[in-house]
Amino acid sequence: MLNQTAIYAIRAMGFLAGQEEGIPVLSSTIAEEMEIPKNFLSKILNRLAQAGIIRSLRGRSGGFVLAVAPSEIRVRDVADLFMKLDDFKQCFLGLSRCKGSCGLHIRWKIIVEQFEMLLDETTVDRIL
């Protein structure tokens, strides 16, 4: 249900959460360990840094570190940066005239609510 960019971002965040606190990790290390294309990861890490979730440290011993405790970062906080999760709340068939009353939409709503609960209740420290 998540797009590839959000999945990569969540993988990267899980990896950073598993590292020693305050010790910067090179993007190339994250890319290799999490099997994320380096160029793509660079864009993801920049977006996470702009959002204040991670920090980029420059220099010889630079890299990336979490800017917020991993227990305080919800998976939803990460995914929201890379996709519109509200799109899942629309009609499963994409019908503009559906007001949520069609049989498929009612069943889809249950799945979406469970998915949202998973994203809201899971924090980065519990990923990897």
**CATH classification at residue 51:** 1.10.10.10
pTM (predicted TM-score):
0.90
Residue 10, amino acid:
I
| C-alpha distances out from residue 1 to 88, 104, 112, 119, 128, Å | 9, 17, 10, 11, 19
* Number of domains present in the structure of the chain: 1
Return the minimum-mean-pLDDT range out of 29-43, 85-99, 104-118: 85-99
Is 90 exceeded by the pLDDT of residue 49? yes
Residue-range definition of the domain harbouring residue 112: 4-126
Is 80 exceeded by the pLDDT of residue 5? yes
Model confidence band, residue 92 (pLDDT cutoffs 50, 70, 90): confident
Instruction: Give 99's contacts (C-beta < 8 A, 6+ positions apart).
Output: none
Mind listing the pLDDT tens digit for each residue in 18-46? 999 889 999 999 999 999 999 999 999 99
